[in-house]
């Protein structure tokens, strides 16, 4: 007695089911693939390791990589909704093509495989460093840091930020991660974590985010690949 297999009935079913869908009015800044939010997410994802992670979240816990250090995490305050974002990635030295200040182009940085086992001869990757005019945040991530980050230090200074970024040789799994952070009072430095891409003791950091109106100070050490013959910093630092 049913005619439900006819195309018309299918269309009618689909129409009814479409009515059941909630409608979402998303801010353009988050909706547009070329908007600031989508671009930031793209940038962060593409600077994470392409190595396969365990699909779990491992939040930071006491007694792990920051044990005994004085440091502070600020809860991300929602001061700059809709703001543009600046992205700074520390890059390799000796890459003659490294521009000092480059807009992150759609063709983007290549894959970063820097969290894999240490390679004595890491391949060169282009610099990904950009500070977008009008940005309210700076995002610092590491592509494969062997570099002396002095140049980027200078960029941060230009923005009046009292932020010292250095790198230290570390075991392979901590390359590109925040291995030490010390911040002043009220410092809104937020770590960007990639859950599922963590060290054995729960360091999932892949970068930091700093508001450009940052008035405090911060000292941040990222892990880098040891040079040949160099011993990596131990867990105790």
Partner 1 sequence: MARAAPTPSTDDAHVAAARFETLYRACYQDLLAFALRRCDRPEAAADVVADTFLVAWRRIDEIPTDQGRLWLFGVARNMLANHHRSVRRRADLAARLRQELARTEVVAPEVPDDVGRAFRSLSEADQELLRLVAWEGLAADELAVVLDCSANAARIRLHRARRRFAAALRQPSLTR
Which of 31, 67, 134, 154 is in the footprint of partner 1 by CB under 8 A? 31
Which of 71, 113, 159, 216 is in the footprint of partner 1 by CB under 8 A? 113
The CB-of-203 to partner 1 minimum distance in angstroms stands at 13
The CB-of-10 to partner 1 minimum distance in angstroms stands at 7
Is the Cβ of residue 53 or residue 93 nearer to partner 1 in the bound state? 53
Instruction: Please list every residue from 132 through 171 that binds partner 1, using CB under 8 A.
Output: none
Binding mask 83-112 for partner 1 (x = CB under 8 A): --x--------------------xxxxxx-
Pairing of strands 162-169, 217-224: parallel
Residue 108: C-alpha distances to residues 104, 125, 231 (Å): 6, 11, 32
Which of 63, 70, 78, 96 is in the footprint of partner 1 by CB under 8 A? 78
How far is Cα 225 from Cα 169, in angstroms, rounded to an integer? 6
Stretch that binds partner 1, among 34-42, 90-98, 143-151, 226-234 (CB under 8 A): 34-42
First to last CA, the chain: 77
The CB-of-75 to partner 1 minimum distance in angstroms stands at 8
Which of 99, 117, 134, 160 is in the footprint of partner 1 by CB under 8 A? 117
Instruction: Please list every residue from 175 through 204 that binds partner 1, using CB under 8 A.
Output: 190-197, 204
Quote the distance between the C-alpha of residue 164 and its chain's center: 17
Q: How many CB atoms are closer than 10 A to CB 107?
A: 7
Q: Pick left, alpha or beta for residue 88 (phi over 0 → left; psi -120 to 50 → alpha; otherwise beta).
A: beta
Give residues with Cβ within 8 angstroms of 180, minimum separation 6.
66, 69, 71, 168, 219, 220, 221, 237
């Amino acid at each position: 007695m049913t005619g439900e297999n006819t195309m018309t009935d299918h269309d009618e079913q689909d129409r009814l089911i479409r009515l059941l869908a909630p409608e979402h009015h998303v801010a353009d800044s988050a909706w547009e693939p070329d908007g600031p939010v989508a671009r930031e997410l793209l940038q962060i994802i593409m600077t994470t390791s392409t190595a396969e992670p365990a699909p779990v979240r491992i939040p930071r816990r006491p007694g792990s990589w920051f044990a005994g250090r004085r440091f502070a995490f600020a809860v991300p305050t929602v001061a700059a909704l809709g703001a543009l974002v600046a992205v700074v990635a520390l890059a390799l030295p000796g890459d003659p093509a490294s521009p000092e200040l480059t807009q992150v182009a759609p063709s983007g940085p290549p894959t970063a495989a820097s969290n894999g086992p240490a390679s004595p001869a890491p391949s060169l990757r282009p610099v990904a460093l950009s500070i977008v005019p009008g940005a309210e945040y700076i995002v610092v991530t590491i592509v494969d840091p062997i570099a002396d980050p002095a140049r980027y230090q200078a960029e941060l200074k230009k923005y009046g930020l009292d932020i010292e970024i250095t790198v230290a040789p570390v075991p392979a799994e901590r390359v590109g991660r925040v291995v030490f952070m010390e911040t002043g009072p009220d410092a809104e430095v937020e770590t960007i974590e990639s859950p599922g891409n963590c060290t054995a003791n729960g360091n999932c950091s892949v970068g930091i985010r700093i508001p450009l109106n940052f008035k405090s100070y911060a000292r941040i050490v990222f892990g880098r690949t040891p040079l040949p013959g160099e011993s990596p910093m131990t867990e105790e630092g």
